[in-house]
Every structure is written in C-alpha cells, then in structure tokens.
Amino acid sequence: MTATTSTPQMTKKKKIWILGFGTRGELQPLVGLACALRRKFDDVTIMSNINHEAFVKTFGIPFVPVSFDFSVTVENPEFKSAMANNEMTKTLAVMNRELEDKQGPFIASFDKMLADGDKQNNKPDLILYTLGLFQLAWLAAVKYGVPIMPADFQPRPYRTALAPPVGLPSLPLGLNVVYSKLFSRLFWHAIVRKQGPLVAKHNVGNVDPIAMVGYKNWEVEFTGRAPHPYLCGCSSLINEMYPSSGKGIVPENFHITGPWVISAEDQMGNAKTKETSSVFGGPDALETLETFLNEKQQQPPVYIGWGSMLCRSPEYMVRIAVGSLIHSNLRGVILGGWAGLSQKTLDKALAESKEGEDWGLSGQNNTNDSVLKYAKENILFLEQAPHEWLFPRVSAIVHHGGAGTTAASLRSGIPTIVTPLGGDQPMHGKWVQRLGAGLCTKGLDKVTIRELSQALLQVTQDDSIREHAKEVGTKMNQEDGNATAVEIVSAYLDKLEQNCDCNNYLGIQLKQQSCVRF
C-alpha cells in the first residue's frame, strides 16, 4: 500500500501509459499506482484531463493531457444544476456535449503520438485505462496493436454476481444475475457506441474502434468474461457485496488488488511543500489543522467532506454539515470540495436563511449569532487536507461514498457515515453498513440535520461500530494494492513478450508484430 515519490529503481525497460478521466478523486488512485509502477519500470506516464497536470507532476510522474479541462466543465451552470439535483441523465447529456465540443484535438494528438511511436518502434508496451477513456485505449488497441488492460475502482457487473451493478436496486428471486447483460447493453447504447464517430472523425484514417469491436465483444469485455487481466483497485472486502452463484467470487482474470494509495507519508510530504500547497493543503493549512486537532483535550473532531459532489446548493450543504455538528455538540473539520464550503458559504447561508430555520439549535438559541459563535469555537473549514494522515485522527468520517474516499475512511479504522447521491455511492454506503464499520443515511439531498446528527452520535458512541471499524481498518491495511497491481502488470508484460501470434481480447485482428494470444 506504499507509494513513493523517491527516485524509482528501474529494473525493466517498458513503456506504460495510464489513462484516467474525471475528478481529482478518480485520478488520485492512479497516481498511487503510477508511483508504485515507477519503482519497477523505467517509463510510466499518466494521461488525463489537462487540469490534473500540476497534481501529477508534483509526484515526479510524466504527464500528457488527453482530455479537456474538467474544472471548467464543473463551472458550467447546466452541469452544476444537474449535479446538484442528482439528475444523472442531464449530467451525462452535458458530458456528451463537452466531449463533442472539446475532445477532438486531444484524440488527434493521441493518435499522432501512437503513429509516431509506431514508426519509431517506440509504442507503449501496455496501456492501463479507466472506463472514462476507453475510446482512446481501444483506438490504441485496434489501430496500433497496443495491449490494453482495464483499471477500475469497483468490480464490473460480471454474470455470476448475485448483487446488482452499482447504482441499481436489488432484485428478488436471484434475478440480479440478469442485470449484467441488461446493464452492459444499456451502457453500450447510451454511452459507448456514441463515442465511435467522434474518435473516427479525429484520427488519421477515420478508424472507428467502437464499431470494429462491436457489441458482442464489448459485452464479453464489460462483464468480466474476457481471458485477459483486469485490475480493480478495491479492497477484497468488497466481496461482502458480491456473493457469487458460480465458481469463485469473481472471474478468474479479475484481480481485486486492494486500493491504490498515495501513502500518508507522501501526502504529508506534499502538503508541507509550498510549491505543491494546493494539492493536500499546504504548510500553513496543515499547521492550522494540527493546532485545531490538539487544542482541546476532548473527543477528536468529526471530518465532513463531499469531494466533487454538488447537492442543491453550497449553502444547503454547509447548513447540513454545520447544523449536524451543532445538534450533536461535536467539533468538526469541513473540507471545501467542489462546492467550496467555507466560512463565507456559512455566512451566506445564514444571511439567506428564513426565520426559525433549523440549524441544530433549540428555542431562543437558534439564532445566526449562536451559529456563528459555535462555528468559530468548534469548526475548521479547509480547502484541502491529506486524508491518509487526517482520517485516523478524527472521531468519525462523513462523506459521499466515492470509491477512493470510502477506501481511505475504512482503512483508517474510524467509523464512517456515507451520505450518498448516485452512481456507486449507495452501494459503498451499504458496504460500510454491512461491514459494521459505520452507517449509510438517506441521500445527501434528503438527509436532515437531525438524522445526520443522530448518525454522528451513534457512530461516536456505539462501541460495536467502533470495534468493527477498527477490525476492518486492520484487515484493509494488510492489503498492498500498489504492490499487487505491479506484480500482475509485470507478469502480464512477461506473457506478452513470450506470445505473439493472433488476436487481442477485443476480438479485432491486430498487426502481426503486436498480436498476443491471451
């Protein structure tokens, strides 16, 4: 589980590209994985949204932009509104338009990099990719014969799973097993096949890798039945949510490695460096945080942070956070996230609040001045903080249930409260609760101050929950997802060197010099 920024000990001359798309939370595990890979291989590059360049380079990892500035998309009013109201269809519609409008030049430059490498016999030996940039990975595979390997953060909807795919309700009578095919077909028609014409338009030769792969091969690949390795940077404890009706818990080639992590030491080292102060908070913020953690000889504060989630409005979110702390009489550290939660947000929320609106106080004490006084004495707002270092030092952790934050909170051994919105978050909340390591409330858009306050009191006072959280943390800290993933990648690259005679796993005939029988 250790990722290091020290000079890698290069033992194999291999070129590995890692493709990742999305938020900081979706990129950070890939940085942890890249740090580990660089200790074994001499050429590891992360390719992602252009706004992640500074973050990646602070760890000494080469970076190439292959997608648009996602931080600009976040400021799109329509995207903000769709996210805030948990309207996934509208969110996807905005993303599809962003891809259509902005992704073309990046596809062209990616294609040129591959073409130049092909001419110079210097193509990547392997591309690891998350689902958000599958179209670039597939282009590399079907046009240039580059081996590719999925790198996910949660299990695929494989056919033997008795649990439904993430974000979908459970069906009775064992019918969850039919979900995988239905889900993969829906995903294909709603998202995957629409990327083909865009990719074809912007690469030399107008190759459409999605049309070449076709639905049949996609369904085999997406449901985990292809005979090639998959990496899943998730704890093996996720098997609690994925009982199997067939042999084994997951398909043979699906490797649940454990989470990919930037270690607490590396996060703290980054936070203490002024040149990288925006990544994990910076030295001044860290000093303020340490003072706040130590200033009162009582129960440690609660952490509340919703990362890239937007729900209703920043003012709504800060009222839920501050109000629940006041009502439970607990101290708290609140992280800004995409919503930008801060003292200014609190001031605005109070200015806009209606008379008598619930802020966790009762009777005559429920005034703006009382709220501000409590916040000044008991709440610290921060833009960023090193989770791996902070989480073990708090009394409870409240978050949205993203894959990376859920892993970090469970690994800390501290009780977790998940307030989900959509996607994989409800499943992660159920997972936390099933492990006995915390609670899952109503969605963030529905939970009340009183309900979140009650959950905070329960997880901070219930010895059973605290003990289970500690046990789960111990088990997860025994996993070394970084090292396990490196071993799998290394073994796969060795296999690629030994075989070269036919098709790749997507079912497309490749250039003979790059073909591999898996």
Q: Does residue 253 contact residue 158 with C-beta atoms inside 8 Å?
A: no
> Which of 49, 82, 470 minimizes the C-alpha distance to 312?
82
Helix or strand run (H / E) with residue 13? strand 12-19
Residues near 491 by beta carbon (within 8 Å), at least 6 away in sequence: none
Residue 58 carries which DSSP code? T
Torsion angle, CA of 95/98/104/105, rounded to 10 degrees?
Answer: -120
DSSP state of 255: E
Residue 449 has pLDDT above 90, yes or no: yes
Number of helices followed by number of strands (H, E) in the chain: 22, 13
Q: Please check the confidence at residue 324 and state whether its pLDDT lies above 90.
A: yes
Residue whose C-alpha is closest to residue 465's, from 324, 486, 457: 457
**DSSP letter, residue 272:** T
Highest mean pLDDT among 230-244, 263-277, 474-488: 474-488
Domains delineated in the chain = 12-68+103-261+479-514 (3.40.50.2000), 296-477 (3.40.50.2000)
pLDDT of 485 > 70? The answer is yes
- 187 against 157, higher pLDDT: 187
| pLDDT tens profile 369-403 | 889 999 999 999 999 889 999 999 999 999 999 88
Q: Over 90: is that where the pLDDT of 258 sits?
A: yes
Enter the tokens of residue 456.
């905070």
Mean pLDDT of the chain: 84
Query: Which comes out higher in pLDDT, residue 63 or 307?
Result: 63
Question: Residue 4's pLDDT is what?
Answer: 45
Instruction: For strands 126-129 and 12-19, give the pairing.
Output: parallel
Residue 143 identity (one-letter amino acid): K
Check pLDDT > 80 for residue 506.
no
Residue 508 has pLDDT above 60, yes or no: no
The angle subtended at Cα 254 by Cα 249 and Cα 260, nearest 5°, is: 105
DSSP class of 342 = S
Q: How far is CA 383 from CA 41, 306, 342, in A?
A: 34, 12, 8
Q: How does pLDDT run across 107-120, given as a tens digit for each residue?
A: 999 999 999 998 89
Q: Would you state the pLDDT for residue 363?
A: 61
**Predicted local confidence at residue 246, as pLDDT:** 47
**pTM for the full model?**
0.88
pLDDT at 265 over 70: yes
Q: Would you give the end-to-end CA distance of the chain in angstroms?
A: 28
- pLDDT for residue 275: 64
User: How far is residue 367 from each of residues 208, 347, 405, measured CA to CA in Å?
Assistant: 61, 13, 34
Please tell me the distance from the alpha carbon of residue 314 to that of residue 343, in angstroms, as a whole number: 11
71 against 460, higher pLDDT:
460
Q: In terms of pLDDT, which residue wins out, 159 or 418? A: 418
How far apart CA 322 and CA 325 sit, in angstroms, is: 5
Residue 486 has pLDDT above 80, yes or no: yes
| Alpha carbon separation from 339 to 88, 249, 305, 307 (Å, rounded) | 18, 38, 10, 8
425-446: pLDDT as tens digits: 888 898 899 899 999 999 898 9
167: confidence class by pLDDT, cuts 50, 70, 90: low
What is the Cα–Cα distance from 38 to 42, expressed in whole angstroms? Answer: 6
Handedness of CA 486, 492, 498, 504 (dihedral sign): negative
- The helix (H) or strand (E) run that includes residue 127 is strand 126-129
| Least confident range of 167-171, 177-181, 217-221 | 167-171
Average pLDDT (281-293) is 87
Closest CA to 14 of 486, 364, 500: 486
pLDDT of residue 250: 60
Per-residue pLDDT averaged across 330-346, rounded?
Answer: 93
